[in-house]
């Protein structure tokens, strides 16, 4: 029965059925073929119970906060600020792309959404100033992977909800790795800039720098409130999402005066569609995880891994290799909700901190956005920036290599991940 389950799963994927439907169809077919009507009758209840978690409320709220900040002109001011400050150095616009993505990571929390938005903004501008379009697109996509690492993070929320790990602790754990990734991509730009003599723009007057700095202060209030509120214990990660929406609305409407009533339908529509997509996937993955638990597949994998090695260092190496391969063929969130029921017993068996493991698996699966053949980020940016897929893949290789190198460092340098959470009592 297990072999049939695997064959059905991959057959449905190969013919192009969306992953969320593949999870649901495979589960229902298995219950029918197993001849167990009780399991089939309980399936609707399991669908709903998988969504009965307070932490999941943060998903639509953070999505709404991101939409409000985009519509209110907050994100554009963050990009303009970084450009005014460092745009004059050689390769300055490339550095602006990375730093802007780090700012926006604390707003959007979704690498795909960030890659799509920044491709529209930065790629045409970089091409206009003399950068190759394929490099510009590759840089924009690569630097967007910090979005699921720097808080708030959609994938951290889902991991914390499904594993029972503190979402606030995960948010704090992502700060240092996010900064390391930013520094790593800046290093790649510096090396490539030295080789290819990247262009530079004129230095902005001091008066313009000061004006831009003052203008961006309200925009920085949202990420500051989110991080400070969670660090201080004033509110939970979910509550911080609601407060972020409220502040983004006030700033966009009354300070920048760009958030008009006519934008409300499109903002709400985008939020609802994105939320429905993610929650439907979580619901389907919940019944799929229930099915593989019924078949005792997690126990089989645990026993198999334990027979290969009893060394946590070797286990983490094998785990990274497996996750990088899976991230290249599966959507990150889908892979996360499928794998967690299987991997959490192993994490416990090897004594690995769940917060540390959460950062490792989330970074692994996010790197999958950059990885051919089916990295969704590659297709999104290739389409929006109008760059040939093959050229984009070639240009992204230096950033992909840096991403994997930093992943290895974070995997074995536990303090880089756990320093802030431990300081905050997690």
* Single residue among 19, 34, 49 that ends a domain in this structure: 49
Q: Which of 22-26, 102-106, 141-145, 342-346 has the lowest mean pLDDT?
A: 102-106
Query: Are 9 and 113 found together in one domain?
Result: no
| 343 shares its domain with 417 | yes
Say yes or no: 165 and 38 in one domain: no
- Residue 311 DSSP code: -
Cα atoms in the 13 Å half-sphere on the side-chain side of 407? 26
pLDDT band at 408 (very low <50, low <70, confident <90, very high): very high
Does residue 86 share a domain with residue 22? Answer: no
Stronger pLDDT, 331 or 252, i.e. the higher one: 252
Buried/exposed 394-405: b ≥16 CB within 10 Å, e otherwise: ebbebbbebbbe
* Mean per-residue pLDDT, 100-112: 68
Local confidence band at 410 (pLDDT 50, 70, 90 cut-offs): very high
| Same-domain pairing of 195 and 219 | yes
Q: Any idea which of 43-57, 167-181, 289-303, 313-327 has the lowest mean pLDDT?
A: 289-303
Q: Output the CA torsion sign for 365, 370, 376, 377.
A: positive
Same domain, 21 and 118: no
> 10 and 138 share a domain?
no
The Cβ of residue 307 has, within 10 Å, a number of other Cβ atoms equal to 8
Asked whether residue 37 falls in the same domain as residue 64, the answer is no
Q: Indicate whether 257 and 275 sit together in one domain.
A: yes
- Number of domains forming the structure of the chain: 2
Instruction: Assess whether 42 and 60 both reside in one domain.
Output: no
Shared domain check, 93 and 33: no
Q: What is the mean pLDDT of residues 291-305?
A: 69
More confident residue, 268 or 227: 268
- Write down which residue in 49, 72, 89 finishes a domain: 49
- End-to-end C-alpha distance for the chain, whole angstroms: 42
Tally of CB atoms within 10 A around 107: 27
- In this structure, the answer to whether residues 280 and 152 fall within a common structural domain is yes
Residue 286 pLDDT > 80: no
Which residue matches tokens 């901190």? 353
Statement: residue 405 has pLDDT above 90: yes
- Of 69, 67, 98, nearest in space to 82 by CA: 98
- Domain holding 44, by residue range, is 1-49
Per-residue confidence (pLDDT) for residue 411, from 0 to 100:
92
Higher pLDDT, 303 or 187: 187
Average pLDDT taken over every residue of the chain: 79
Tokens for 39? 């399991």
């Amino acid at each position: 029965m297990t072999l049939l389950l695997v064959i059905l799963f991959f057959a449905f994927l190969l013919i192009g059925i969306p992953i969320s439907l593949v999870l649901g169809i495979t589960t229902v077919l298995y219950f029918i073929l197993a001849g167990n009507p009780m399991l089939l009758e309980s399936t609707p209840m399991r669908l709903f119970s998988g969504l009965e978690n307070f932490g999941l409320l943060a998903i639509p709220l953070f999505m709404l906060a991101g939409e409000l900040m985009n519509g209110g002109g907050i994100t554009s001011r963050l990009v303009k600020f970084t450009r005014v400050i460092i745009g004059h150095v050689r390769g300055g616009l490339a550095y602006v792309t990375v730093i802007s993505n780090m700012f926006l990571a604390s707003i959007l929390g979704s690498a795909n959404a960030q890659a799509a938005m920044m491709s529209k903004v930065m790629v045409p501008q970089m091409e206009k100033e003399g950068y190759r379009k394929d490099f510009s697109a590759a840089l924009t996509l690569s630097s967007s992977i910090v979005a699921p690492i720097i808080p708030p993070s959609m994938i951290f929320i889902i991991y914390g909800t499904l594993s029972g790990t503190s979402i606030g602790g995960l948010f704090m754990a992502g700060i240092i790795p996010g900064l390391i990734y930013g520094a790593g991509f800046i290093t790649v730009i510096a090396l490539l800039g030295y080789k290819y003599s990247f262009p530079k723009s004129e230095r902005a007057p001091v008066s313009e720098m000061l004006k831009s700095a003052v203008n961006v202060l309200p925009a920085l209030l949202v990420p500051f409130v989110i991080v400070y509120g969670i660090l201080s214990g004033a509110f939970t990660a979910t509550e911080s999402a609601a407060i972020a929406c409220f502040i983004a609305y006030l700033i966009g409407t009354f300070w920048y005066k760009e958030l008009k009533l006519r934008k409300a339908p499109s903002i709400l529509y985008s939020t609802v569609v994105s939320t429905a997509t993610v929650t439907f996937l979580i619901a389907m993955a919940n019944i799929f995880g229930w099915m593989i638990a019924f078949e005792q597949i997690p126990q089989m994998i645990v026993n198999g891994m334990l027979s290969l090695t009893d060394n946590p260092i070797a286990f983490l190496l094998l785990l990274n290799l497996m996750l990088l391969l899976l991230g290249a063929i599966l959507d990150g969130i889908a892979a996360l909700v499928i794998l967690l029921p299987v991997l959490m017993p192993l994490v416990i068996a090897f004594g690995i901190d769940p917060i540390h493991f959460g950062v490792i698996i989330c970074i692994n699966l996010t790197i999958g956005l950059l990885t051919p053949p089916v990295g969704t980020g590659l297709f999104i940016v290739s389409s929006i920036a109008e760059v040939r897929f093959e050229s984009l893949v070639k240009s992204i290789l230096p950033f992909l290599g840096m991403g994997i190198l930093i992943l290895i460092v974070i995997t074995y340098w536990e303090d880089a991940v756990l320093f802030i959470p431990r300081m905050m009592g997690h």
